[in-house]
């Protein structure tokens, strides 16, 4: 899977487009691991500048998952690592009645200082809230991000 990120320098906006597989009636599988399948990942445009610092704040991505197990905690959390020390897109969703099944999770990266041209990473999915060190990993799905800066 390839993600393309374009950065327009004048307005300091990152526009992201995913070569994604989306279907109307049945999702296309982009990867499976453990109890999780991922059928879409959309990295949203970063539009809020971090001025006077370089970069952007509150960048978002949405991951669409299929969970095939019961979630004990009532929450599913997702992490997408960005290649800067400690930089992650993170998000969680309350899933008391929707799992097993398909869900979407909005993930936010609070600060992105630079555009990275290419990096392998993974969407890691947990049974538990963001920051819960005891949360059980449900799966980890590899993705390859390609960007033009």
Alpha-carbon gap, residue 87 to 89, rounded angstroms: 7
Cα separations in angstroms, 62 against 74, 78, 91, 105 = 19, 10, 9, 6
Q: Whole-prediction pTM value?
A: 0.76
How many Cβ atoms are within 10 Å of 47's Cβ, its own excluded? 15
pLDDT digits (tens, 9 = 90+) for 28-85: 456 777 889 888 888 777 889 999 999 989 988 899 999 999 999 999 999 998 888 7
């Amino acid at each position: 899977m390839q993600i393309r990120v374009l950065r327009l320098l004048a307005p300091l906006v990152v526009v992201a487009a995913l070569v994604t597989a989306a279907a109307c009636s049945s999702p296309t599988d982009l990867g499976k691991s453990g109890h999780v399948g991922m059928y879409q990942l959309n990295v949203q445009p970063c539009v809020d500048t971090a001025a006077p610092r370089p970069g952007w704040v509150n960048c978002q991505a949405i991951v669409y998952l299929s969970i095939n197990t019961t979630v004990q905690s009532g929450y599913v959390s997702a992490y997408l690592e960005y290649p800067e020390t400690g930089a992650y897109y993170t998000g969680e969703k309350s899933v008391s009645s929707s799992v097993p099944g398909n869900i979407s999770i909005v993930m936010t990266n609070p600060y992105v200082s630079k555009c990275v041209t290419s990096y392998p990473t993974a969407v890691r999915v947990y049974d538990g809230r963001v920051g819960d060190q005891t949360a059980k990993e449900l799966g980890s799905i590899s993705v390859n991000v390609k960007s033009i800066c």
